[in-house]
Every structure is written in C-alpha cells, then in structure tokens.
Structure 1
C-alpha cells in the first residue's frame, strides 16, 4: 500500500512541478527544508528527555498550538522535550518566534522513506496533530513503530465529511488508528465517529481558539500598532482581515463610499497570503488612495488620514483586530470556507462575514445564537451594512458586547486537551519508550 501511495505522490509531484518551480522563482516558496521534507532528515538534539512531537500546518495552527504546548508542559512539569513541526514557510518562521525554547522543524512529505526516517530519528513518545492533518503513510508508520497519534482541536465540515464518506473503506482504518481525537464540537465528533474514529477515543473538548484570546484593546501589541498607524480615538476603524480576492476590492469600495458621509473612517486591509501584499497595495493606489504598509512604517513619512493601512507582516493580525470597530472576516465570500472570527469578537468588534463559513460552522452558530455577528448573504450587502452600522453606534456596541461575552463563555478547551494528552502518555507501559527504541 505504501509503495502505491509513493507512486501516486511522485506522479502528483511530477504534474505539479511546473507550478512549484514557478512559485519558487516568483515567491521564493518551497526552498527551505528540502532534506527534512523529502528525506525525513530531522535535526537531532542532545536533550535526553522523551519527545512529544506536535505538528501545526501553518500560521493559524501554530498560534493555537502555542497555548496547548504551554499548558501541556505545565501539566507534565516539563518532563518531555517538545518538537514542533510545520509545513509552510510562514508557519515555520512564526513557530521559531513562538517556540524559542523548543526544537522547530519541517514536517516530512508522506513518502514512506521520509516518514520512516523521521520517526526513527525522533522516536517520539506521542505525535500530536493540530486539527485534522492525516497522511496515510505517516499514520501507518506510527502504528508500525507503536507511536500513539492524537488529533486535537479536530474539526470536520459537512463538505469534507461528504468527501471522506465516498472513500469510507479506505479512510476507516486511518481514523481507527488514532489514539485520541479531541473534537471542537459534538457535530464534529459525530462526523468523525461515522468515519471510523473509536467512540472511546473521541472526546468533545471545545475549540482551543476560544482560549487565551486577548479581550483588552489596550494591550501593548495593539497599542503599539495604534501608535504606528497614527490612529486617533475619534476615528472609526473598518478592518478587513484574512482576505482573499476580491474581498479587498469590496472592502475598499465600501470604505470609499462610506467616507463620503463619515470622513473619519479608516480602513485596514490584511490579505491572507503574503504573496498578494504587492497586488493589494497596487489595488489601493489604482483606486486613487494612499497606502501605508506596515513593513515600511519606520521609513515612510506618508502618514495621512486618507491612507489605507496595509498590514503586510506575519504574526500581527491578532493584535491588529484590537483596532477594529467594524471587522469583516475574509475567506467568506470565496471558496475557502471562512477564517477565524473569534479574535475580533473577543475584542468586542462588530463582526461581519459572508455566507461561506463551513470551516467555522459551529463558531458561527455560537455567535448567531448570541446575536453577536452579522452574516451577509452576498458581497452587495457589505457597503449598506457598514453604512448602517456607522449610523447606529448603539447597534455596534450591542453586537460587540455580545461577541465578547460569547467568546468568554466558551473557554476551557486548552486545559481539557492537555489533560487528555497527558493521560495518553501515562497510559503507556513504563518501558514503552525503551522497547520502542530497542526495536
């Protein structure tokens, strides 16, 4: 089976090679971590403690993983060495900053030789996957080496569930190998159970994203950005974050139209992918507006009240949401299924998003039941909705207060998750790690 998968992966790699080469040349992607990804040559450590390997695909997962790792180390009195892996350039760079005292590396591609070499060199006591990053060869090799695999903050959208259900006979053994699945909600748990996750290994912990989010707009990171952007308390901030095309254009059009009646309205744009930063800056200039890029604030003198602010750095989105009075969460007018709307809600912003939020279905339901958000049916509604909210400060305040309360009511998933992970380790035979190494 693994050699069949290897053949499929190699064929896909061959077909995609022109696109990959273009991304390497155009955006500088995929150049780092070649040995780790293709050969599984993960770095060695002199630390003799047993290892727990945590994996987070990209930036969003790295941010959430930091909370889990901190609580896990607290509950286990730091008895384990923590290895953190990621799959993207931006995720790797952020992991280096967020885990300065942990080993950070790249996750191997799912070739049998790469995952075999990686697991034998690391010899982890447990592998922890953030959300739902399941690779057949990796999981099969973990089973061969008797390494328990846990999935935390797990979610399964209805759309993904339909896709997995079509290949149920192939996926059931993979899901059945998992030692622990900590699901974000009961509906996610039900979908995962129907795909083969064992009932006694399935737990509903809630979403980690609700834990540890900042709720005070006066926190140092947000205040630093407020000062850098020269934002006045008298100005109202409309922010569109984690956006994809054409959401920046829609937000820009809304800002231009609303400024006719509300000249103190400011706009902050935060594209989801860094390779689009230049394109979005050009979009703003082509519309006749100045653009202030966060990456050049220290050298730029173009600080005007008419400038559109472009947050073109990685790792500052969370703090930047604290500047927003009205927050549009992107990825919801396209085909990405939405983005995390919890952070702006925690700050008490008036949260808006489009109709396509299937990746955050349970979060959206929580906010809807609390009257804590506005979901738009189409892009055409954005300008009129923002204009209405600008004209009704009391409505904005009510929505924002409800959003903050909803976030606070959902906390506790991080501690529950860490407790379950600790229990998995404690349930292993005392000599498991020694036998594993000897094998």
Structure 2
C-alpha cells in the first residue's frame, strides 16, 4: 500500500473524536439531521433487507437524482434485488423522501472514519458498491475491499481542481486507490484523461457520457401546474433556477430590462439554497419589487413581479411552467447546474460563462445553438429576445435533441452493474 494512503487510513482509524466535533458544528449550522445523526457514525436506522443488496452512493441532490431512474429500472428487471442509497446532505434526504423506488432505503453515509465505515458495512453487507461522480473516499473504498465488496464508479467526474488535489497525494497513492475500483465509466474525455494520469488502468475505463442524459424527466403535480397556469394566464413567465449569492442582483437587473418590452412579465426565482430565501425576499421588497413567496403561502396577483419559489422538489413544475429558464450557478464561479432538466421539459436555456461542472454538455449545446451563453450585463437583452415564442421554441427543441441523443448512458451503466452482479453471484 502506498505510504500516503497508509497514513490517511491510520489517521482515519483514530479520527472519531475530531469527526464528532465536525458533526456537531454541522448540526449547529443546520447541515445535519438531528434525528439521524447516528447514521453519520455508521449506525443504521433501518434493518438490512433479505437477499442481494446493491449499494449506491452519491454526494447530494443532483448526483442522487441521476441514480433514481437506474435503480427503478434495475428493480423492475430484478425483483429479487434491494437497494441502499446513501447521500451526505439533508437537502438530498428531503428530496429523496418521496421519490425512492420500491425496495430502496436511504441512509446518510458515514464520515470516512474507518471504524464507522466498518460498522456500516458490517450491518448492510452489500453485494456491490456503486459510487457516483467524484465520491472517492479512501476509507470507504479500502474497507469495501477488505470485506470483499466490489466497487465501481459510474458517471465519474473529476475537475482540474480535484485532479490537482489528488496529484498532491502523489501518483502512487492515487494509483493504489484507483486500482481498487473494478471499473469506471467517465462522463467525458477530460475526466478520463485525468484519471489515467493518476494511474487508473485504461482497460478499466470507458467514456460513456453523463447519467443525467438518461434520467427520467423531473416529476411534478399536474393539478398544481394547471392551477398556476390559470393564475398566471395572459402573463409571460421566465425562470431563474438554482441561483446563488451574487446572481439574484444580476437576474433582477435583467428582469427590469425585459419588463420594458414584456410589461406583464413575471419571474419565478428559485434559489439553490432555500434557507437564503428570507434575505432575498427582504432585499427585493426593499428595492421596490412586488414579491410573492411560495413557502409562506403568498398568492400570485396581477401586481406580482417575482414569485420566490423557495421550496424543495418542485423544479419539474417550474420548468414545465416557464418557457425560458436561466440555469444558475453560472454567473458566479460555482460551475453551473444540470441543463438536462430544462431541456427534457421544453424550456429554453440561458446560462452564464461558469459551467465547468457540465462543460461537455454546455459545449454541445453551444455548438448546436441550443442554449444562450450570456454575461450578466447582457442577460436582459438576451432574455428580451428569447422570450419571443418562436425563439424560445427553437431553442427548447434544439436542446431536447442534443440532450436526448445520450439516452443510452443509463443502459451502459445498467449493463455494467448487472454484469458485476452476475460476477458476484
């Protein structure tokens, strides 16, 4: 075993006191569920189901949602299988609460403390571990190996920053860890090249695209969509989705500019983190905007200029309701958010320049003239143009064609996991 990896595991074996202090700080910040905190120490809150169990792990909301269609299809094909889905955030747990497929249990993943991970694996005894995107935790991977649990990484994504961080470990440590993965399916060639440079054998690696291309369209409440459509009849709507601090001001500037041409325009504003909504609402009202807030039950009236949709799990509703969507996290250096969601639901896509989390798909959308890249100062002019129904429809159709072209990604991931299960059996 590489020296750096051995040192990490030695520290992780004794890290429980420090990890508990970290959990208490996170709990105080509202980033842990007090009723389920023990799960973060590997103490299960549910029994292990009988029969074969496939463990899927994803970091948070976007990553876990991309796995649900895969789990659903596996469960349909193999009624003998049960599934464990772990994540690390309270927002993901809230989102998944009403969406888990049959025979699927959600747990919070333990912190990467060796005794906690060992306790977790002793209870769940998975037949296979399937990690998503960038969840390369050394304790998790090594303990799976010690307990004979095969590990695969699907939908793999590695940014330049992550690559630099792994490189500082030394190629030997990274290579040692990656060699413990049975197979890797990467989202793009850039990720594949970074993994190869860290020592992942080429024969264990393939580039398949992102699972988000094959994910089912986001769900929604059709009765609520009908109600809101009637409430806003005769008005033009647009959506600012998953916005971050620093973006709302630019979005509101664009909204004010577009209002000069579209006098009954209403913005549906969905902050990425709903706990910011109170401050956003106060700031907008202080600036003179007429705001209705969804979480407090405010009604939309003729005077409403901004509908602050500060609830979880309703993006499918907003993308269906709004013909034009700005996808946030892209005017500030967050890296952008998932463009497949609006593309699947017929909403034209606007975005800023910071889309490195989804660089490949945004590049494909740009080449196909299926999305509009804009700096913040230009957003209002671009929005005014794209709100024209013919232009919005053209962009939406082009984006749907680009994003639906990769629907076989889920099939390839399913083939891999079923093949590994057959190997286990």
Q: Would the TM-score normalized by the shorter structure come out above 0.5? A: yes
Q: Which moved more, 1:392-401 or 1:45-54?
A: 392-401
Give, in angstroms, the shift of residue 240 of structure 1.
Answer: 0.6
Structure 1 pair 318–409 and aligned structure 2 pair: CA distance change class (3 A): same
* Residue 197 in structure 1 maps to residue 194 in structure 2: no
* Residue in structure 2 matched with residue 413 of structure 1 by the alignment: 409
Distance 1:44 1:427 in 2: 28
Q: Which moved more, 1:183-192 or 1:352-361?
A: 183-192
Give, in angstroms, the shift of residue 225 of structure 1.
Answer: 3.1
Distance 1:47 1:330 in 2: 40
TM normalised by structure 1 equals 0.87
List per-residue Cα deviations over 1:262-314 (Å, max 9, x = no partner): 112110111111211212222221222222222233xx445334241111111
Task: State the secondary structure of the residue aligned to 1:36.
Answer: helix
Q: Which moved more, 1:51-60 or 1:237-246?
A: 51-60
Distance 1:226 1:382 in 2: 29
* Residue in structure 1 matched with residue 63 of structure 2 by the alignment: 61
1:379 pairs with one of 376, 380, 387: 376
Distance 1:10 1:381 in 2: 51
Structure 1 pair 180–108 and aligned structure 2 pair: CA distance change class (3 A): same
* Residue in structure 2 matched with residue 363 of structure 1 by the alignment: 361
* Residue 388 in structure 1 maps to residue 385 in structure 2: yes
Structure 1 pair 252–9 and aligned structure 2 pair: CA distance change class (3 A): farther
* Residue in structure 2 matched with residue 434 of structure 1 by the alignment: none
Distance 1:386 1:179 in 2: 47
1:50 pairs with one of 49, 52, 61: 52
Structure 1 pair 18–118 and aligned structure 2 pair: CA distance change class (3 A): closer
* Residue in structure 1 matched with residue 3 of structure 2 by the alignment: none
Structure 1 pair 65–200 and aligned structure 2 pair: CA distance change class (3 A): same
* Residue in structure 2 matched with residue 81 of structure 1 by the alignment: 82
List per-residue Cα deviations over 1:202-223 (Å, max 9, x = no partner): 22222111124439xxx86366
CA RMSD of aligned residues (A): 2.4
Contact 2:13–2:115 (CA<8 Å) still a contact in 1? no
Task: State the secondary structure of the residue aligned to 1:33.
Answer: helix
Contact 2:66–2:215 (CA<8 Å) still a contact in 1? no
Distance 1:257 1:45 in 2: 56
TM normalised by structure 2 equals 0.90
Within 5 A, what are the aligned runs for 1:296-307? 296-297=296-297, 300-301=298-299, 303-307=301-305
* Residue in structure 1 matched with residue 174 of structure 2 by the alignment: 171
Structure 1 pair 230–82 and aligned structure 2 pair: CA distance change class (3 A): same
Distance 1:227 1:419 in 2: 42
Within 5 A, what are the aligned runs for 1:180-329? 180-214=183-217, 221=221, 224-225=224-225, 227-228=227-228, 230-297=230-297, 300-301=298-299, 303-329=301-327
Give, in angstroms, the shift of residue 140 of structure 1.
Answer: 0.9
Contact 1:158–1:358 (CA<8 Å) still a contact in 2? no
* Residue in structure 1 matched with residue 120 of structure 2 by the alignment: 118
Distance 2:161 2:174 in 1: 16
Structure 1 pair 304–207 and aligned structure 2 pair: CA distance change class (3 A): same
Aligned residues: 416
Task: State the secondary structure of the residue aligned to 2:29.
Answer: helix
Contact 1:295–1:312 (CA<8 Å) still a contact in 2? yes
Distance 1:45 1:134 in 2: 26
Task: State the secondary structure of the residue aligned to 1:338.
Answer: coil
Distance 1:231 1:158 in 2: 46
Contact 1:222–1:323 (CA<8 Å) still a contact in 2? no
Distance 2:392 2:79 in 1: 44
Task: State the secondary structure of the residue aligned to 2:98.
Answer: helix
Distance 2:329 2:268 in 1: 16
Contact 2:71–2:101 (CA<8 Å) still a contact in 1? no
* Residue in structure 2 matched with residue 23 of structure 1 by the alignment: 29
Contact 1:337–1:358 (CA<8 Å) still a contact in 2? yes
* Residue in structure 2 matched with residue 33 of structure 1 by the alignment: 36
Give, in angstroms, the shift of residue 10 of structure 1.
Answer: 5.5
List per-residue Cα deviations over 1:354-382 (Å, max 9, x = no partner): 11111101111111121101112x32121
Distance 1:6 1:283 in 2: 47
Give, in angstroms, the shift of residue 48 of structure 1.
Answer: 1.8
Contact 2:292–2:308 (CA<8 Å) still a contact in 1? yes
Give, in angstroms, the shift of residue 13 of structure 1.
Answer: 6.7
* Residue in structure 2 matched with residue 94 of structure 1 by the alignment: 95
* Residue 350 in structure 1 maps to residue 354 in structure 2: no
* Residue in structure 2 matched with residue 436 of structure 1 by the alignment: none
